[in-house]
């Protein structure tokens, strides 16, 4: 498609100021701009752009794994720095540009749809409009979780967010707005997505209404609005309550979890995971030992490391490969959002129901499931957060969770790394939780660097 070739030509510019060479050619390029509802469909069906290549910065620094000194030295320089939270300049801008390319496609889709008669094909029009809003919100939120400080009500109006690219124009200067403005736009987009998306979506890479509700639940959890987090998690699960029975999975397989299983609301994958790949990342021993004997996740998620006795590797990715992280949304995550939010707003029975429903689907069916009955809100919240870490391992959630939970004295945590004789520390609430921008963006695009 000419329109896809046109957009691909702009990929290197996303997030940066326009360059003179491109502007000189712009008149010719305008002749192949997509113009129809069918063109919009083709744009959003580009799985490689909309569903792949999302940033792994941040997740490289989580506490769920570690690597050997030799493993770190075999990684790319920027990955080596991210692993030890080294706050030094780096030049790789691709993990910023890739999500903004998806944003560009979304903006181009909205621009196309604003100029056509929706009555030509009302179903496709709404489906595309909803998907465009969803992908823009999703990309904005993931970038915010990586590059911005945790949302705090008393500082969100001054903390630096991300540039909000809301039109397909490449001449617009990228300006970082506040964290509050960023989340306002994320929520606005997810709500527009929920309004237009269908309940049932047959194309696996496309979002449905349940996925938009899940996006809202995730965003409200990040902002500490637990009433709305509960509301939208519940709305999602009313549409998509299905969970895999882990008893039906073959734990001995190299990759037991299938890519497009019934729990996946939207499949999204990262760039190459580097040191977090299934061959390199050694699972944190405390995390591994936290799984009970009859918790089937232990065998589905992990396997013994043949090279280092007593250590374990990860094999339970939801995108069915060992070289990229699953970064999408599953309804298993939404059960945990519902459980946490319910616990925090005093809906104890709902919290218990959600966390037990999830856990029981992961339990050995030949052994009586030990129902969680804890009614003390403080203790139950601890249990739910423990379950969240165990369920969502290597699913792109831990960095964001560490960041937001560090705002609560009950759950803040300092992380340390040991490489040979060297030790590295990331204190709770450290400014490095807002991962620095590539120096390419700062220099060429004129985008302000994160505070240090």
Q: Helix, strand or coil for residue 312?
A: strand
- The token pair at 22 is 């491109």
Helical H segments across 114-249, by residue range: 122-147, 179-196, 209-223, 226-239
Q: Which of 152, 172, 141 lies closest to 396 in space, CA to CA?
A: 141
Whether 203 is in a domain gets the answer yes
Provide, rounded to the nearest whole percent, the portion of the chain with pLDDT above 70.
93
Check whether 382 has a pLDDT greater than 60. yes
Is residue 291 helix, strand or coil? coil
Domain-embedded: residue 107: yes
DSSP letters for 27-75: HHHGGG---SHHHHHHHHT-HHHHSS-B--TTGGG-SSEE--HHHHHTS
Whole-number pLDDT of residue 32: 62
Q: Is the pTM of this model over 0.85?
A: yes
Please state the domain count of the chain: 1
Task: Indicate if the pLDDT at residue 332 is higher than 70.
Answer: yes
Answer whether residue 349 is part of any domain: yes
**Are the CB atoms for 180 and 164 separated by under 8 Å?**
no
- 10 Å Cβ neighbour count for 279? 12
- Give CA–CA dist 399/85, Å, rounded: 12
Average predicted confidence (pLDDT) for the chain: 92
* Residue 451 maps to a domain: no
Residue 69: pLDDT band with limits 50, 70, 90: confident
Query: Is residue 1 one of the residues assigned to a domain?
Result: no
**Residue 13 in domain:** no
The tally of CA atoms less than 13 A away on the side-chain side of residue 237 is 23
Residue 307 lies in a domain: yes
Who contacts 135 (Cβ-Cβ below 8 Å, separation ≥6)? 44, 50, 102, 103, 105, 106, 207
289-317 exposure pattern, b = at least 16 Cβ within 10 A, e = fewer: eebbeebbbbbbbbbeeeeeeebbbbbbb
Instruction: Give the structural domain span for 66.
Output: 37-445
Confidence class for position 17, pLDDT limits 50, 70, 90: very low
What's 370's domain CATH number?
1.25.40.390
Which residues neighbour 224 within 8 Å (Cβ) at sequence distance 6 or greater?
151, 153, 404, 407
Q: Which residues make beta-bridge pairs with 269?
A: 326
Residue 335: CB partners within 8 Å, gap ≥ 6? Answer: 233, 237, 243, 354, 355, 357, 358
User: Distance (Å, rounded) from C-alpha 90 to C-alpha 93?
Assistant: 8
Q: Is residue 41 part of a domain?
A: yes
pLDDT at 14 over 70: no
pLDDT tens figures, 239-288: 999 999 999 999 999 999 999 999 999 999 999 999 999 999 999 999 99
**Element spanning 385, H or E:** helix 377-391
């Amino acid at each position: 498609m000419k329109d896809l070739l046109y957009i691909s030509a702009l990929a290197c510019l996303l997030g940066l100021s326009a360059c003179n060479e491109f502007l000189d050619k712009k008149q010719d390029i305008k002749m192949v701009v997509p113009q129809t509802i069918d063109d919009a469909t083709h744009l959003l069906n580009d799985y490689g752009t909309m569903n792949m290549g999302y940033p792994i910065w941040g997740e490289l620094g989580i506490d769920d794994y570690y690597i050997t000194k030799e493993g770190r030295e075999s990684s790319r320089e920027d990955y080596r720095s991210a692993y030890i939270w080294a706050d030094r300049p780096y030049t790789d801008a691709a993990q910023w540009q890739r999500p903004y390319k998806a944003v560009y496609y979304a903006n181009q889709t909205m621009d196309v749809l604003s100029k056509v008669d929706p009555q030509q094909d009302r179903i496709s029009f709404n489906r595309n409009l909803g998907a465009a809003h969803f992908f823009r919100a999703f990309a904005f939120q993931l970038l915010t979780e990586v590059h911005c400080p945790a949302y705090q009500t008393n500082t969100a109006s001054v903390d630096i967010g991300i540039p909000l690219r809301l039109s397909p124009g490449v001449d617009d200067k990228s300006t970082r707005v506040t964290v509050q403005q960023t989340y306002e736009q994320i929520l606005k987009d997810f709500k527009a997505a929920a309004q237009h998306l269908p309940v049932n979506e047959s194309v696996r890479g496309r979002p449905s209404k349940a996925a938009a509700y899940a996006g809202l639940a995730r965003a409200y959890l990040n902002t500490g609005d637990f009433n709305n987090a509960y509301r939208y998690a519940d709305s999602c699960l009313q549409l998509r309550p299905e969970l895999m029975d882990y008893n039906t999975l073959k734990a001995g397989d190299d990759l037991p979890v299938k890519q497009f299983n019934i729990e996946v609301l939207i499949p999204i994958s990262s760039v190459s995971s580097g040191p977090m790949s299934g061959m390199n990342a050694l699972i944190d021993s405390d995390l591994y030992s936290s799984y009970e004997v009859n918790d089937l996740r232990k065998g589905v998620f992990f396997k013994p490391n043949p090279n280092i006795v007593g250590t374990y590797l990860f094999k339970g990715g939801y995108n069915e490969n060992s070289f990229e992280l699953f970064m999408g949304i599953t309804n298993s995550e939404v059960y945990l959002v519902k459980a946490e939010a319910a616990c925090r707003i005093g809906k104890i029975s709902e919290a218990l129901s959600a966390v037990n429903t999830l856990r029981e689907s992961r339990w050995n069916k030949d052994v009586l499931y030990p129902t969680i009955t804890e009614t003390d809100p403080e203790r139950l919240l601890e249990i739910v957060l423990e379950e969240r870490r165990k369920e969502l391992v290597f699913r792109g959630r831990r960095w964001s969770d560490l960041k937001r939970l560090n705002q609560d004295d009950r759950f803040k945590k300092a992380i340390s790394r040991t490489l040979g004789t060297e030790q590295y520390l990331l204190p709770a609430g450290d400014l490095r939780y807002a991962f620095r921008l590539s120096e390419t963006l700062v220099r060429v695009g004129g985008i302000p660097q994160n505070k240090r």
